[in-house]
């Protein structure tokens, strides 16, 4: 299929990029890796009059592990993060999720911030960033603002990004001592969108849970946190019974999964229950280690 006609811009600086977005507003789309936008263009599901390619914007292609945490710029590709030696140490949950994102060819082109901005409810990284309480830096000609992941994702393929803003960076805070993470998903074939995926971040102090965040993908209109399940774990030992109770709460109370041609609501609840037990068990073991 043929793409609609558009005007192509390739700015060299962030100031130039946000200036273009300020000028063209909702008539413009940001292009980074193109793994989500290009298919939409080819199917004529998106009709922007201007494409702003940020792939060569200075300063957006860096990965840094510093005082602000583990930061990933807007032009950083999945493969860059996956292969970076620092990822496994600074952001182990991101490292665990990366191999599940599409196939190698997709990870070679697609960007982390592009995936977050696209906000596909079946994508791995929105759920991961929600579990990690990541912060997102939004830039525009008006200035910049920072949002937590919990405020960034607002609905089905919807975010808090304004038409004149670029998601310039995502920052993952350092994990406190005694914290373990785990990620699991179930898909029909490796590389397909997951039927259900789950992430867990657990902090233990003397064997007692002081923090627990459980998030899902493919169970709603965006990344979903199992708030009640996580709350029920705090202040308790993470033994088999506590984990089983959390899995039951997560699958019955915290989520309202859709039914489609790939899986029924009941099957998605079952997968959420099983995956919650798996990620909590694995995260607790790592926290103890």
Question: Do both 73 and 42 map to the same domain?
Answer: no
Cα separation, 128 vs 256, whole angstroms: 19
Domain range for 193 is 180-288
Q: In this structure, is residue 1 part of a structural domain?
A: no
Cα separation, 245 vs 266, whole angstroms: 18
Stretches where the chain sits below pLDDT 50 are none
Q: In this structure, is residue 166 part of a structural domain?
A: yes
* pLDDT at site 289: 87
Distances (CA, A) of 123 to 128, 140, 154, 217, 221: 9, 26, 15, 7, 11
Question: Do both 151 and 241 map to the same domain?
Answer: no
- Out of 108, 143, 172, pick the residue that ends a domain: 172
Question: Do both 134 and 69 map to the same domain?
Answer: yes
Q: In this structure, is residue 2 part of a structural domain?
A: no
Question: Do both 101 and 40 map to the same domain?
Answer: no
Rg (CA), the chain: 19
Question: Do both 214 and 275 map to the same domain?
Answer: yes
- Out of 129, 149, 172, pick the residue that ends a domain: 172
Q: In this structure, is residue 57 part of a structural domain?
A: no
Q: In this structure, is residue 35 part of a structural domain?
A: yes
Q: In this structure, is residue 109 part of a structural domain?
A: yes
> E strands, the chain, where?
7-9, 28-31, 50-53, 63-66, 69-73, 135-140, 143-148, 153-155, 158-159, 166-172, 179-186, 196-205, 208-217, 224-225
Question: Do both 46 and 108 map to the same domain?
Answer: no
Q: Structurally, how many domains does the chain consist of?
A: 3
Question: Do both 21 and 74 map to the same domain?
Answer: no
Cα separation, 104 vs 166, whole angstroms: 26
Cα separation, 9 vs 138, whole angstroms: 20
- Check which CATH number belongs to the domain holding 145 and give it: 3.30.465.10
- Check which CATH number belongs to the domain holding 15 and give it: 3.30.43.10
Question: Do both 185 and 269 map to the same domain?
Answer: yes
What is the reported pTM? 0.95
Question: Do both 206 and 253 map to the same domain?
Answer: yes
- Check which CATH number belongs to the domain holding 205 and give it: 3.30.390.50
Question: Do both 150 and 201 map to the same domain?
Answer: no
Question: Do both 273 and 236 map to the same domain?
Answer: yes
Question: Do both 100 and 162 map to the same domain?
Answer: yes
3-state secondary structure of 288: helix
């Amino acid at each position: 299929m043929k793409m609609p006609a558009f005007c192509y811009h390739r700015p060299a600086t962030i100031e130039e990029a946000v200036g273009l977005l300020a000028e063209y507003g909702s008539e413009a789309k940001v292009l980074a890796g193109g793994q989500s936008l290009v298919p939409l263009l080819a199917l004529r599901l998106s009709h922007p009059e201007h494409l702003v390619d940020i792939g060569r914007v200075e300063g957006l292609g860096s990965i840094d592990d510093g005082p602000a945490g583990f930061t990933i710029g807007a032009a950083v590709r999945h493969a860059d993060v996956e292969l970076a030696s620092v990822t496994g140490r600074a952001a182990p949950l991101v490292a665990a999720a990366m191999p599940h994102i599409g196939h190698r060819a997709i990870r070679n082109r697609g960007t982390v911030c592009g995936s977050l901005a696209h906000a596909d409810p079946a994508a791995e990284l929105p759920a991961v960033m929600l579990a990690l309480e990541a912060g997102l830096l939004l830039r525009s000609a008006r200035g910049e603002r920072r949002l937590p992941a919990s405020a960034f994702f607002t609905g089905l393929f919807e975010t808090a990004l304004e038409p004149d803003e670029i998601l310039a960076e995502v920052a993952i805070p350092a994990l406190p001592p005694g914290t373990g993470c785990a990620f699991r998903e179930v898909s029909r074939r490796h590389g397909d969108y997951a039927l259900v995926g789950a992430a867990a971040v657990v902090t233990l102090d003397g064997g007692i849970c002081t923090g627990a965040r459980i998030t899902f993908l493919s169970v709603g209109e965006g990344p979903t946190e199992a708030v009640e399940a996580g709350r029920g774990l705090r202040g308790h030992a993470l033994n088999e019974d506590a984990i089983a109770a959390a899995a039951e709460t997560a699958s019955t109370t915290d989520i309202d999964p859709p039914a489609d041609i790939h899986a029924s609501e009941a099957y998605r609840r079952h997968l959420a229950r099983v995956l919650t037990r798996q990620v909590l068990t694995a995260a607790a073991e790592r926290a103890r280690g």
